[in-house]
A and B are shown apart, each in its own frame.
Chain A
Amino acid sequence: MSQRNATLWSTEDPMTTEPRRLFRAVTRPTQGPRRVRVPHRRLRRVGLATASVVVTLGILQIAGVTGLLSRESFPLVSEVLVRLGEESTDQRTWTSIWRTLSQALTGLGLGGGLAIVAGLALGRAPLAERSVRPIIEFLRPIPSVAILPLVILTVGVGFEGAIVLTSISSFWMVLVMTLRGAQAVDPVAEQTLVTFRVPRWTWTWNIVFPSALPFIVTGVRIAASVSLVVAVTVEMLGGMPGLGKDVQIALQNADTVGLYSLMFITGLLGLAINVSLKPVERRLLSWHPSQRGGVS
């Protein structure tokens, strides 16, 4: 049967579609039923969450109008939403968001990338890892904010200064997780490859890297949200341009509405980073349990 005929027949003839569907069900057991059920559930969940957020905002609005929450500390939700609407058409807001986001993500990429390479290398060399471990454990807990003054003096209060700090914070987090991951290789699988004299690069790529991946992904996900926190913090304290600096300006002008609208934007940004990393994580690790089952 020619290729063209096969595609034609498969849509009409049950005799050809049925085995094919069976084959799919066997090779990808989780895909079949999931595809049917998830949209409905997810729709319901999103609907519930949206309704709940609207109700929360409504309650806050009522509490503000009736004076339950003092007007000086908590502006009305409606005022904040109106301000958000104004800001969404303002180029400056988008510039700030872009700056904060790029500072956080560039740092994550630089620090995290270095950490993955260093972690895989160190994790494979137990003696070296053991020797450097005290240094890592000493440097890791130093908060980025504590290095901020030194960075302001040496690198300056620009894009680079913020990136240095977000890189450092991401580096330690990803490094420690990668180290753990590189050491979590199944000894049997590893020794099998060593016995068969599989080239070093091949087994690093095929055994060490996949074994470390769950740890790396977890590390990167945590580092991503921390990176945003660090970016906003150093902007606020160090005066690097971005959302944090805008918050500082709003605070100095006693502009509570602006302050809350910026908090809202930043919170949404954090939420967006978290939510956008979840599918990536699921995708990268979906094969993982089945693979483990096959090896051990």
Chain B
Amino acid sequence: MTKVWYRSGPIVVPAALVALWWMLSSSSTSLFFPPLADMVEAFRANWLTGETFGKMALPSLMRAGEGMLIAVVVGIVVGIVIGLSPLAESLTKAQLEFMRGLPPILVIPPMILVLGTGDVMKVGVIAASAVWPILLAAVDGVRAVEPVRDDMVQAFGLPRLARIRHLVLPTAVPHIWAGGPDRCADRPGRHGRRRVLLQ
């Protein structure tokens, strides 16, 4: 019985809630909470017919992708360069943390002043808000290189680029991907508990 609920729960419960919403809102006259049926109809008219999707959603996604690409490349390269030198890190940390703490929306006014109101500005704002977490995670990732391995790399006399390729990048990538150290990676996950439950 538990197993049946376990499989069907994720489908049944949300479906029941949507059905409840549908029934409760069907006779709603409130301006702010219209009947769900009307919303579905509006959704269909707006998004599934006509070309609104291609005209509005696609350019947004494109810009987000371009901004993200710039942020990833700049963030990783600059982050690794800064992370490789402890001096550079302590010199730039304050400025970087300041930029990360700045709400992205405040980057828009100066960007408008510099780049105008076109697509370049929008991509610039996206890149400028996405780059800081990536950059700081890259710095942290480089700093997390194990000293023993680092010593070994130096003892074997690996060239600088090989050191980055084989030692720094593999350590830094998980940090960059998660946007911070995953403190909890080695802990027993929920799968263990699930298995216990289902036995």
Q: Please list the residues of chain A having a beta carbon within 8 angstroms of any beta carbon in chain B.
A: 45, 48-50, 52-53, 56, 72-74, 126-127, 130-135, 138, 150, 153-154, 180-181, 183-187, 190-191, 211, 214-215, 218, 225, 228-229, 232-233, 236-237, 244, 247, 251, 256, 259-260, 262-263, 266-271, 273-275
Contact = CB atoms under 8 A, between A and B. Distances in A.
A271 B187 contact: no
B196 A131 contact: no
Contacts of A127: 2, 5-6, 9
Interface in B100-118: 100-106, 109-110, 113-114
Interface residues of B, number: 44
B32 interface: yes
A266 B104 CA distance: 11
A153 B32 CA distance: 8
Contact of A228 (B103, B113, B180): B103
Contact of B90 (A49, A180, A263): A49
Contacts of A56: 95
Point out which of B105, B110, B192 has the most chain A C-beta atoms below 10 A from its C-beta.
Answer: B105
Contact of A130 (B6, B91, B94, B102): B6
B13 interface: yes
A180 B91 contact: no
Given A153-B32, A228-B103, A183 B190 contact: yes
Interface of B: 2, 5-6, 9-10, 12-14, 17, 31-32, 87, 90-95, 97-106, 109-110, 113-114, 180, 183-184, 187-190, 192-194, 196-197
Nearest to A229: B103
B103 A48 contact: no
Nearest to A52: B91
B113 A130 contact: no
Nearest to B182: A218
Given A130-B9, A266-B103, A268-B98, 10 more contacts: A52-B92, A73-B110, A127-B2, A153-B32, A181-B184, A186-B188, A191-B196, A229-B103, A263-B110, A270-B101
